[in-house]
């Protein structure tokens, strides 16, 4: 057996795993295996003293991961296994993955001398010029020159948050090249909290460690825009895992011992920007909040009953409220699922594509269901059957091909079973009766919708529109489902 030798991450290979490593743990998160939910992995990103990055996973059934969590962030590792990471699943560029074994040795390393954060900032120009999304993640630093409201959206009972930002870096300032950045979930809330506690919004500096690329199509966000006037742009967002967000007030000196790269960036901003420009930026920073999901269902499109859908023109979105009463299993479920929705006026067939089904099934993708059930004529996934007898509000439309069928099939553009949204939709369509009317008083009319059961299944947000329209950017949990 080979003896262990001290070395660095770049020394590792499929045939050389006897290297004793000194590393800093940059980020950790817990992740269950889909095929075995009882097995929980601790995933982590580590760097060595030469600032080489490594994607690392440790099996946590034996409590080993818990000991890592309790330890100091700098450790010495030996007796581990090395495997390959497929490009689409890589967070860092290193193609090998380290896995901890039952006999892996992990000890505190008190004299680690490497970088604390290991930032390697990617120039904006290399991002905005991309034609397609890239695998892997990277670091970005920029100054916030605008941000929209914090969007507290709802999707099938699960609350979500989104904060769109516009960044510019020091190099691109005079060229006017900007980069759109969307923060989701806890990162959106972290940025919003920072705004509320920061007195000056004119020079906010953002560092997104392990960001990922994402194409933002302005055409899909506004049907009045043309492709020529608003082409798709390459943007960034926080990743599914591993991302860290650092926020700074650029008017104050930044600790050079911990963040030397950030202080250098701040000084470059001071050299090129004046007070007037800073005041203009502050006026474009929004600290307000909104709920786009509720607004989209309640105010933007008409509420129809199912009997009225046959008179709706193709490509025109409508809102319906109904219960999934049947799943048309003969139509299959891979890529597209067809179900029957019922209200008090009738039933209609609707198609849900992978994004919508994933939203209903707590972020379980079609690929994961194939791994579990196969793609043939075997058992219909039990997860999909759980959709039966649940009430939803759905945004639907129909295309020319489906409208000509004997039994028309509508495409689902968006859906939610959030009880608050369903109630708001029904109340918006059923206003209060005048107090002068000889009825039992000031209470709102009771509609058949109010008497149907409501659920609060949790799903993740999505925005894919089958007719070319979309309402909000996708979340990191949906990005991979499209691959």
For 295-306, write each residue's pLDDT tens digit. Answer: 777 777 889 999
pTM to 2 decimal places: 0.62
**pLDDT, averaged across the chain:** 75
What pLDDT, on a 0 to 100 scale, did the predictor assign at position 273? Answer: 54
Specify the higher pLDDT residue, 236 or 444.
236
pLDDT-above-90 percentage for the chain: 20
With 90 as the cut, is the pLDDT of residue 373 above it?
no
Instruction: Decide if 100 contacts 64 (C-beta within 8 A).
Output: yes
Number of H helices, E strands in the chain: 14, 19
Give the residues across from 411 on adjacent strands.
351, 397
What confidence tens digit (pLDDT) does each residue in 190-224 have?
999 999 898 888 889 999 999 999 987 543 444 33
The DSSP secondary structure of 159-202, one letter per residue, reads EEEEEEEEEE-TTTTTTT--EEEEEETHHHHHHHHHHHH-S--T
Region 30-58 average pLDDT: 73
In whole angstroms, give the CA distance from residue 321 to residue 348.
Answer: 12
Overall fold of domain 5-108: OB fold (Dihydrolipoamide Acetyltransferase, E2P) (2.40.50)
What pLDDT, on a 0 to 100 scale, did the predictor assign at position 182? Answer: 93
Please give the C-alpha separations between residue 84 and each of 8, 167, 193, in angstroms, as whole numbers. Answer: 18, 35, 39
Overall fold of domain 124-290: OB fold (Dihydrolipoamide Acetyltransferase, E2P) (2.40.50)
CA angle 420, 421, 426 (to 5 degrees): 100
- Strand intervals (E) in 86-134: 96-108
pLDDT confidence bin for 322, thresholds 50/70/90: very high
In whole angstroms, give the CA distance from residue 387 to residue 393.
Answer: 13
CATH of domain 294-472: 2.40.50.140
Judging by DSSP bridges, how do beta strands 204-216 and 179-184 pair with one another? unpaired
Poorest-pLDDT segment among 65-69, 212-216, 225-229: 225-229
With 60 as the cut, is the pLDDT of residue 456 above it?
no
Q: Where are the domains of the chain?
A: 5-108, 124-290, 294-472
């Amino acid at each position: 057996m080979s003896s262990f030798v001290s070395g660095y991450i770049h020394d590792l290979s499929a045939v050389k795993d006897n290297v004793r490593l000194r590393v800093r743990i940059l980020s950790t998160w817990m992740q269950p295996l889909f095929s075995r939910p009882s097995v929980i992995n601790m995933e982590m990103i580590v760097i060595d003293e030469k600032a080489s990055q490594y994607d690392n996973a440790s099996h946590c059934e034996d409590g080993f991961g818990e000991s890592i969590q309790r330890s100091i962030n700098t450790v010495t590792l030996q007796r581990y296994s090395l495997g390959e990471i497929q490009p689409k699943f890589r967070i860092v560029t290193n193609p090998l993955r380290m896995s901890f074994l039952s006999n892996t040795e992990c000890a505190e390393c008190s004299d680690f001398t490497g970088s604390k954060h290991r930032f390697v900032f990617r120039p904006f120009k290399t991002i905005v010029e991309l034609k397609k999304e890239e695998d892997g993640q990277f670091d970005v630093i920029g100054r916030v020159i605008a941000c929209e409201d914090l969007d507290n959206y709802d999707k099938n009972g699960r609350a979500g948050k989104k904060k769109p930002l516009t960044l510019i870096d020091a190099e691109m300032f005079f060229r006017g090249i900007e980069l759109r950045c969307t923060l989701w979930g806890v990162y959106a809330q972290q940025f919003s909290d920072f705004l509320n506690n920061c007195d000056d919004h004119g020079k906010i500096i953002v560092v997104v460690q392990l960001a990922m690329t994402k194409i933002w199509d302005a055409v899909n966000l506004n049907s009045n825009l043309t492709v020529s006037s608003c082409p798709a742009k390459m943007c960034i967002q926080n990743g599914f895992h591993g991302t860290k967000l650092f926020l700074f007030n650029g008017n104050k000196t930044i600790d050079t011992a911990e963040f030397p790269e950030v202080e250098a960036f701040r000084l470059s901003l001071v050299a090129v920007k004046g007070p007037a420009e800073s005041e203009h930026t502050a006026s474009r920073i929004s600290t307000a909040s909104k709920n786009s999901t509720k607004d989209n269902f309640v105010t933007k499109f008409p509420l129809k009953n199912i009997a009225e859908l046959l008179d709706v023109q193709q490509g025109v979105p409508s809102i319906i409220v109904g219960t999934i009463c049947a799943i048309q299993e003969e139509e299959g479920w891979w890529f597209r699922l067809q179900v029957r929705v019922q209200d008090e006026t009738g039933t209609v067939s609707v198609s849900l594509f992978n994004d919508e089904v994933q939203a209903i099934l707590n972020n379980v993708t079609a690929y994961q269901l194939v791994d579990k059930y196969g793609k043939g004529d075997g058992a219909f996934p039990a997860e999909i059957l759980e959709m039966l007898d649940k009430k939803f509000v759905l945004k639907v439309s129909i295309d020319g091909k489906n409208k000509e069928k004997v039994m028309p099939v509508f495409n689902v553009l968006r859906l939610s079973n959030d009880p608050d949204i369903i109630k708001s939709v029904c109340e918006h369509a059923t206003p209060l009766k005048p107090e002068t009317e000889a009825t039992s008083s000031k209470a709102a009319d009771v509609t058949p919708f109010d008497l149907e059961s409501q659920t609060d299944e949790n799903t993740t947000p999505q925005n894919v529109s089958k007719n070319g329209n979309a309402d909000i950017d996708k979340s990191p949990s949906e990005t991979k489902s499209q691959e």
